[in-house]
Amino acid sequence: MPERPVAEDWLALREAADAAAREDSRVLLERLERHWAAAAPAGAPGAGEPVVVVDLGAGTGANRAWLSSRLPGPQRWVLLDHDDRLLEQAVAAARADGAEVEPVHAGVEELADVLARHPGRRRLVTCSALLDLLTTAQIGQLARVLRAEAVPALLALTVDGEVHLDPPHPLDARVLGAFEDHQKRGELAGTEAVALTMDALREQGMVVDAAPTPWWVADQPWAQPLLERFLADRADAAVEHYPELEPEAHAWLRTRLVDVARGRLRATVGHADVLGLPPED
């Protein structure tokens, strides 16, 4: 799981952009529903049971809030996170919606144990904006557990490294490239996470599909605070990784914040959703 806690305010700022982006992933939900229908057809044992949804890195529960109304039938959500404060918020929001929910202080390393405690023919492992924060080893472990348990996975909103800012700035590539290097520090997957995850799932014999789910950030009501935080975080991470970039990164940030304040900055930020299905028997 992430080496650093994910900031609660960042999760709130990105929620509207995430929700809009995920509308492009409905084809994956349709494939998932067909898989469940084949695995537990009407009248078969387990067909009427609630879907058990295990949400890795659940955060404040935005993934559940978006996905629950788009999954068929009754559901039982198991929310996994290492941050108890975020888990409390996620559980409170779920219960306010009338959802059946169980919080678990856990991460990828405990997923096999969690799934063993929740057997059934209609299960799902999901996450949102998590894979790039995992190591290559954790992604491999995730794929092995999914295959061993024969559980489908819907892994949403992983950044792919494609960022386009309009109008362009001469320092865009330098600052954004430094941020990407920061994402890949140590063994973290960073912007390679989508490709690494798809490869790992295929190596386990899973059937894999993906859909692009980019952010389009322009003049929406939520755009300005999101862009301000997005740009500031990139400048800060670039300087953390390459301290010699501080003068350039700060100059870039000042100019970009003026662009945002004047309503003239547009951003496209690439993300992808990945669906992994166990092979049919």
* pTM confidence score: 0.94
Task: Return the closest-CA partner of residue 129 out of 237, 200, 215, 44.
Answer: 215
Percent of all residues in the chain with a pLDDT value above 70, rounded to a whole number? 95
Task: Return the closest-CA partner of residue 74 out of 94, 96, 48.
Answer: 48
Per-residue pLDDT tens digits for 127-164? 999 999 999 999 999 999 999 999 999 999 999 999 99
Residue with tokens 């605070």: 225
Q: Which domains does the chain have, with CATH numbers?
A: 8-160+188-214+270-277 (3.40.50.150)
Return d(Cα 157, Cα 128) in angstroms, integer: 5
- Asked whether the bond before 167 is cis by omega within 30 degrees of 0, the reply is yes
Per-residue pLDDT tens digits for 185-231? 999 999 999 999 999 999 999 999 999 999 999 999 999 999 999 99
Task: Return the closest-CA partner of residue 28 out of 157, 163, 193.
Answer: 157
Where does residue 42 rank: exposed (0-12), middle (13-18), buried (19+ CB within 10 A)? exposed
The amino acid occupying position 147 is R
Return d(Cα 212, Cα 195) in angstroms, integer: 13
Q: Give the DSSP per-residue string, 267-278.
A: EEEEEEEEEEEP
Instruction: Kindly report the number of other CB atoms within 10 A of residue 16's CB atom.
Output: 17
